[in-house]
Amino acid sequence: MSEPLPFTQLNEQFAVAPQLAPADMAAVAAAGFKSVINNRPDGEGGPEQPANADIEAAARAAGLEYRYQPVNGRNIQPQDVDDFAELIDTLPQPVLAFCRTGTRSGVLWRSARGE
pLDDT tens track for 52-100? 999 999 999 999 999 999 999 999 999 999 999 999 999 999 999 999 9
Q: Is 30 inside a domain boundary?
A: yes
Q: Is the per-residue pLDDT at 44 higher than 70?
A: yes
**Confidence (pLDDT) at 1:** 40
* Domain-located, residue 57: yes
Beta-carbon contacts of 59 under 8 Å, excluding residues fewer than 6 positions away, are 25, 28, 36, 65, 66
Kindly state whether residue 1 falls inside one of the protein's structural domains.
Answer: no
Query: What are the distances in angstroms from CA 18 to CA 15, 37, 79, 90, 98?
Result: 11, 12, 23, 23, 5
Range of the domain at 98: 8-112
pTM: 0.95
CATH code of the domain containing 65: 3.90.190.10
Q: How many domains does the chain have?
A: 1
